[in-house]
Amino acid sequence: MTEPMIESIRIRNLDEADREAIATWRYPGALSIYDPGCSADQLRAPDHVALSSADGALLGYGTFGAEGRVAGGRYDETALDVGMGLRPDWVGRGLGPAALSRLISYARLQRGAERLRATVADANPRAGALVRDLGFVPAHRFARAADRRAFTQFEHDEDSERVAAFIRDGYWPLRGVVAPEIVAACRRDVTAALAQAGVDDADPTTWTRPVVRLDTPRTDAMSQVRNHPRLLSICDRLLGPGRRRPRHDLGGTTPVRFPSPEDPGDAGWHIDGSYDVGGQWWTNVFSKERGLLLLVLLSDVNEASAPTELLVGSHLDVPRVLEPHGRTGTLFDAAWLPASTFERARVLATGAAGDMFVCHPFLVHRATWPHHGARPRALAQPEIAHDPPFSLEPRPDLHPVEHAICKALASHGRPVPRPEVSSRGGADD
């Protein structure tokens, strides 16, 4: 049988033959901790469901509630526990994402669960990667009461689909969260900074260059954007709690692009460098100094007004190019990327002033031209720095930015680089 897609995976009650079959399932090696180890009678509880193909063949089973818990964990009733077992001959064949996605939507739609929890043995890194890919975030690690084996509890909530899309696509659009009066103040700040550069943003006769690059104004309004609680919570979610380096000002540069047929000279595909080496902005596979790239629209931006263009999923192509440069890193050159990167879907970062795109630091993007619109277009592009740096060790508690880098390296069969440990214990000094 070929791999079923999520639409063709069915959920139904377990029948007697299913229960008899599951009770005999045995998994190889370290996965034997998942052997059902129960009688067909125990599988009679209503919290078990069958996962089947469209033609009714049993592919696996799901459990909800207490059945998905492991003694020693920290459980409460704020989330529904979900567990899954695949038929042993289906393990490792790519069925997991579709099967678990099916259980998640069933839990939400049929069981009304807003929050889900999954408990995964650390000895099963494939299951850990699967739940992280679907937007679960690690919440608690513990030792199983019976044998002290390590397990991690992961949680899934209303943001998890966005997290999964971030891991897959490399960005999270965040629209309409900044209050209109703060957006208006930011626009006035850009106008004032342009005036200092000799440009009147209301007077086209002063628009003599296709782009003017400002240092993002250090104002209260910009600082409120940077420190918007929703943005901060998304950054923490993507980087891991306590990892984001606090910063008062918004930071970065703000290129302002003007209606013009001229090549601005800065519109090549790239990722943003993150640390200064002799006046050049380098980066390394650990994404030293840059946890995230933020694109903040400081004017309305549409298709005509030179929007930034993003290569969807390209953050998964960059790690293998950076990995040979190790901890020292390099001045990144997009020409090193495979041709397939440039065949990826493209998205324009359009929207209303105040909208943001929270991007993976390795997302390949570029400015576009010509600007056919009527009004200047302004965009701040600060970094969100993080500390400590990513170690890229395949730990159970990887958060999405680091998980995406590890996933990209693993999918290309690259060894995960071993950081030298400095005297401060970090990968990076």
Ligand X SMILES: O=C(O)CCC(=O)C(=O)O
Contacts with ligand X, residue ranges (CB under 6 A): 255, 266, 272, 308, 365, 367, 379, 381
By beta-carbon proximity to ligand X, the closer residue of 159 and 266 is 266
By beta-carbon proximity to ligand X, the closer residue of 119 and 368 is 368
Non-local (6+) Cβ contacts of 107 within 8 A are: 64, 80, 82, 113, 116
User: Do the strands 275-277 and 280-282 form a parallel or antiparallel pair, or are they unpaired?
Assistant: antiparallel
Query: Do the beta carbons of residue 185 and residue 112 sit within 8 Å?
Result: no
Query: Do the beta carbons of residue 389 and residue 265 sit within 8 Å?
Result: no
The helix (H) or strand (E) run that includes residue 1 is: none
| Angle of CA points 95, 98, 99, to nearest 5° | 75
Q: Tell me the closest approach of the beta carbon of residue 255 to ligand X, in angstroms.
A: 4
| Angle of CA points 30, 35, 41, to nearest 5° | 170
Structure tokens at 195: 């005036």
Q: Tell me the closest approach of the beta carbon of residue 383 to ligand X, in angstroms.
A: 11
Q: Tell me the closest approach of the beta carbon of residue 345 to ligand X, in angstroms.
A: 18
Q: Tell me the closest approach of the beta carbon of residue 365 to ligand X, in angstroms.
A: 5
Tokens 């009066």 label which residue? Answer: 181
Dist CA 70 CA 152 (whole Å) = 10
Q: Tell me the closest approach of the beta carbon of residue 294 to ligand X, in angstroms.
A: 12
**Is residue 131 helix, strand or coil?**
helix
By beta-carbon proximity to ligand X, the closer residue of 356 and 379 is 379
Closest to 313 in 3D by CA, of 280, 282, 338? 338
By beta-carbon proximity to ligand X, the closer residue of 96 and 376 is 376
**Is residue 211 helix, strand or coil?**
strand
By beta-carbon proximity to ligand X, the closer residue of 305 and 391 is 305
Tokens 């939400």 label which residue? Answer: 108
Dist CA 348 CA 325 (whole Å) = 31
Q: Tell me the closest approach of the beta carbon of residue 172 to ligand X, in angstroms.
A: 17
Maximum distance among all alpha carbons in the chain? Answer: 82
Q: Tell me the closest approach of the beta carbon of residue 190 to ligand X, in angstroms.
A: 13
Q: Tell me the closest approach of the beta carbon of residue 58 to ligand X, in angstroms.
A: 50
